[in-house]
């Protein structure tokens, strides 16, 4: 075992801390003990740039004194540190204003079953072996073509973590996971200028990742195809968002359907339950119990049981993403999303991206987005972009220095199709998304 504490030791620390909180004056409390460790190695042009080891642990304790809330944290698990941290949280609670929505999630909603989601796979990789893998990855990219003339480096990362969440309802559970990755970024040049691109893979099980050579070759191929980029005339065109960037569109949707934005009235999808926001051939569902998926869990960060469910069915909003606090603010019940969404799946309508390119006819394939031009209140969307111009359903040439713009409400309703090419490395399985028309600003 790589960790300094066993699961039973963390569970015992959690229970002792909660007992301490009750004894010190809390009417309710919740605690989160976590431990993580890993290493990150990077090389550039065959030379080691960085070897970094990381090891952290923390306790976060939240106490409630009536409707007053206090929170404190520490990285020290000694008995005195536990006592001091609990006291600090209670002192904070006594000086905060009452909040009628504060408190633990309802006891009846706590997870009753916590199984093994196969998310923990140790990669006991020596620094020397990690350096060798990074060098293999970068060299594969440099060997791909003589136009690959520089490198921004390759990196290999391993990460292992475990945590225990418990509260004074008597709930306490342990989960653990791993996240490993290999990445590479290179620069290509010809008589018309330079371009860069990258590629990476990530998984909780290192055997499930592409080989370092495959990742390096993909980074090189993606960089080479951007050479001779040009701009295009300003106009309204179909825009196909590649699977590497389409997840961002669904991310904006999740943000707009999340409790914090909804109760603050800072969402363009307020009061959208029962309303159609996507075409009727699309549904978005949450699948929190998929083995080995990064977003999988049997309980959220308040101990509430997670369950598979539709967020949007046949284009119509069925549910939001709510914690117990945001749910109370909205007069609703938590959806088990304290801490975020868990593995989102958008159904596909086309088998391949090539099928969608035929639907595009003449238009734009976006493979990179830049800037943060999204207004969550109005839905206004404007991002710098790069990608490829498409003619007669076939990629014609690379483009850059363009902007794509629209309103998210209109973009979602104007989705023409989704292809079955979601990235394996992502917890959210979202394929390439074709929008029927957007404003594209070029030259």
- Residue 77 CA to residue 85 CA, distance in Å, equals 10
Tens of pLDDT, residue by residue over 210-240, are 999 999 999 999 999 999 999 999 999 999 9
Element containing residue 247 per DSSP (H, E): helix 243-256
Average pLDDT over residues 99-128: 95
Task: List, for residues 331-388, the tens digit of each pLDDT value.
Answer: 999 999 999 999 999 999 999 999 999 999 999 999 999 988 899 999 999 999 999 9
Residue 6 above 90 pLDDT? yes
Write the pLDDT tens digit of every residue in 25-34: 999 999 999 9
pTM of the model: 0.93
Per-residue pLDDT at 41 exceeds 70: yes
Q: What is the DSSP letter of 208?
A: G
Q: Which two tokens stand for residue 226?
A: 């951007």
8 has pLDDT over 90: yes
d(CA 14, CA 2): 20
Close Cβ partners of 340 (under 8 Å, ≥ 6 residues apart): 295, 321
The band of 1, judged by pLDDT with boundaries at 50, 70 and 90, is low
The residue written with tokens 């999204």 in the block is 374
Q: How far is CA 283 from CA 316, 355, 382, in A?
A: 8, 20, 25
CA-to-CA dists, residue 198 to 223, 225, 229, angstroms: 7, 12, 17
For residue 372, the model assigns a pLDDT of 85
- What residues are paired with 55 via a beta bridge? 37
Q: Identify the helix (H) or strand (E) that includes residue 406.
A: strand 394-407
In degrees rounded to 5, what are phi and psi of residue 206? Answer: -65, -25
Question: 């629209």: which residue's tokens?
Answer: 406
Whether the CB-CB separation of 151 and 158 falls below 8 Å is answered with no
- Token pair for 296: 């999988």
Q: What is the mean pLDDT of residues 400-427?
A: 96
Shortest CA distance to 414 belongs to which of 243, 269, 237? 237
- What average pLDDT does the segment 315-343 reach? 97
Q: Which two tokens stand for residue 108?
A: 């009846």
Residue 84 burial class via C-beta count within 10 angstroms: exposed 0-12, middle 13-18, buried 19 and up: middle
For the chain, which domains are there? 7-224 (3.30.2290.10), 229-443 (no CATH)
| Residue 192 confidence (pLDDT) | 84
Residue 239: in which H helix or E strand, if any? Answer: strand 235-241
pLDDT(94) > 70: yes
Question: Mean per-residue pLDDT for 6-31?
Answer: 96
Q: Which residue has the tokens 């440099």?
A: 142
Task: Please name which of 189, 182, 177, 176 lies closest in space to residue 125, comparing C-alpha atoms.
Answer: 182
Q: Within the chain, how many helices (H) and strands (E) appear?
A: 9, 17
Q: How confident is the model at residue 15 (pLDDT cuts 50, 70, 90)?
A: very high
């Amino acid at each position: 075992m790589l960790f300094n504490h066993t699961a039973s030791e963390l569970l015992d620390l959690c229970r002792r801390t909660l007992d301490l909180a009750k004894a010190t004056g809390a009417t309710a409390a919740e605690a989160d003990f976590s431990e993580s460790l890993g290493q990150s190695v990077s090389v550039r042009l065959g030379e080691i740039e960085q070897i970094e080891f990381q090891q952290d642990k923390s306790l976060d304790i939240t106490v409630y004194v009536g409707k007053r809330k206090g929170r404190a944290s520490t990285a020290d698990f000694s008995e005195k540190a536990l006592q001091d941290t609990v006291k600090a949280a209670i002192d904070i609670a006594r000086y905060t204003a009452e909040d009628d929505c504060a408190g633990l999630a309802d006891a009846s909603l706590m997870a009753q079953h916590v199984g093994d989601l196969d998310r923990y796979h140790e990669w006991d990789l020596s620094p020397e072996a990690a350096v060798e893998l990074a060098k293999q990855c970068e060299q594969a990219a440099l060997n791909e073509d003589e136009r690959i003339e520089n490198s921004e480096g390759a990196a290999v990362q391993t990460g292992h973590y475990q945590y225990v969440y418990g509260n004074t309802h008597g709930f306490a559970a342990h989960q653990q996971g791993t996240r490993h990755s290999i990445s590479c970024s290179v620069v290509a040049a010809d008589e018309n200028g330079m371009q860069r691109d990258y590629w990476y893979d990530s998984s909780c099980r290192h055997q499930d990742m592409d080989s370092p050579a495959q990742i390096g070759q993909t980074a090189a191929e993606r960089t080479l195809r951007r050479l001779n980029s040009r701009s295009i005339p300003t106009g309204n065109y179909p825009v196909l968002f590649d699977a590497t960037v389409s997840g961002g569109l669904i991310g904006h949707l999740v943000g707009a359907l999340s409790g914090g934005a909804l109760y603050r009235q800072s969402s363009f999808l307020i009061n959208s339950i029962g309303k159609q926001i996507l075409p009727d051939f699309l549904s978005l569902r949450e699948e929190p119990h998929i083995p080995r998926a990064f977003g999988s869990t049997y309980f959220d960060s308040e101990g509430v049981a997670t369950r598979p469910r539709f967020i949007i069915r046949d284009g119509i909003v069925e549910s939001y993403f709510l914690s117990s606090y945001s749910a109370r603010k909205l007069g609703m019940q938590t959806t088990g999303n304290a801490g975020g969404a868990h593995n989102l799946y958008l159904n596909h309508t086309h088998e391949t991206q090539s099928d969608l390119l035929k639907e595009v006819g003449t238009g734009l394939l976006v493979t990179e987005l830049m800037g943060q031009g999204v207004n969550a209140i109005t839905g206004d969307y404007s991002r710098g972009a790069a990608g490829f111009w498409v003619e007669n359903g076939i990629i014609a040439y690379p483009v850059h220095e363009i902007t794509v713009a629209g309103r998210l409400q209109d973009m979602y309703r104007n989705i023409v199709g989704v292809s079955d090419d979601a990235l394996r490395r992502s917890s959210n399985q979202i394929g390439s998304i074709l929008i029927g028309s957007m404003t594209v600003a070029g030259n």
